[in-house]
Amino acid sequence: MSNVVVFGAGGTAGSRIVREAFDRGHRVVAAVRRPEADAPFLPPGVRVVTGDATSERSVRELAPDADVLVLAIGGGDRTLWADAARTVIKVLRGMPAAPRVIHVGGGSTLLTPAGTRLLDEPDFPDEYRDAALGQAEALDVYRSSADGVTWTYISPPPLEFHPGERTGRYRTGLDHPVTDAQGRSVLSYEDLAVVVVDEIENGRFLNTRFTAGY
């Protein structure tokens, strides 16, 4: 059993990660910006606190008792994800026995068969570009600045990633989308939560990025 802090616990991904971890017997702290709004939608028995992954004070308060910090944050502007990555790295770097970081990132940072990022393709939708660039910057922060911190960056599929069924089945890859026989890269939010909690329990992808799909 691990002590898990989930930042962004009130969101589409974060709330499912909280439930999956809690149902599998982990001690979970759900860090949200508005506990009064989000607490009723989280499992009874989960501790709900005010928390912000971009706040050094917030991370310092929650990190010492955690084995893993999960960043499943969203909203805000393009700088949000990289700011959060820099904040947790700064706080954890000086801690003895610091928790691991699992960052739920963007699928558009995955690579095409030609080796270019999906977000750099000419037909990439403009309405998603700021978020994609923000998540790409966060990945760069981990890769270039996270000495002394154990991190994992998880990219869901770039397009077909929606709430759906929990199957408990998936396949993993590294920098290229995991595709099925029809060439589709698909995963539900429910199975993303399975992926995250499996990584909490097994630590297979330390200091790297990986992806998952059916």
Residue 200 pLDDT: 98
What integer is the mean pLDDT of 71-77? 89
pLDDT digits (tens, 9 = 90+) for 15-24: 999 999 999 9
Confidence of residue 130 (pLDDT cuts 50, 70, 90): confident
Residue 152 or residue 158, greater confidence? 152
Residue 206 pLDDT: 97
Q: Which helix (H) or strand (E) holds 29?
A: strand 27-32
Asked whether residue 53 carries a pLDDT value surpassing 80, the answer given is yes
Closest alpha carbon to 80 in 137, 37, 5, 149: 137
What integer is the mean pLDDT of 183-204? 95
Asked whether residue 76 carries a pLDDT value surpassing 90, the answer given is no
Closest alpha carbon to 101 in 52, 38, 130, 59: 59
Q: Give the Å distances, CA to CA, from 123 to 106, 115, 128, 191, 214.
A: 17, 16, 11, 28, 25
DSSP for 144-205 reads: HH-TT--EEEEE--SSEEES-------EEESSS----TTS--EEEHHHHHHHHHHHHHH--S
Domain tally, the chain = 1
Looking up tokens 């971009």 gives: 54
Contact 189, 160 (CB under 8 A): no
Residue 138 pLDDT: 96
Asked whether residue 45 carries a pLDDT value surpassing 90, the answer given is no
The DSSP output letter for 68 is E
Residue 89 pLDDT: 97
Q: Which helix (H) or strand (E) holds 38?
A: helix 35-38
Asked whether residue 104 carries a pLDDT value surpassing 80, the answer given is yes
What integer is the mean pLDDT of 137-141? 95
Q: Which helix (H) or strand (E) holds 74?
A: none
Residue 17 pLDDT: 97
Strands 68-71, 47-50: parallel, antiparallel or unpaired by DSSP? unpaired
What integer is the mean pLDDT of 110-125? 87
Asked whether residue 39 carries a pLDDT value surpassing 80, the answer given is no
Task: Say which CATH number the domain at 49 has.
Answer: 3.40.50.720
Domain, as residue range, for 61: 3-213
For 72-147, list the strands marked E by DSSP: 100-104
Residue 145 pLDDT: 86
Contact 151, 90 (CB under 8 A): no
What integer is the mean pLDDT of 141-149? 90
Residue 32 pLDDT: 93
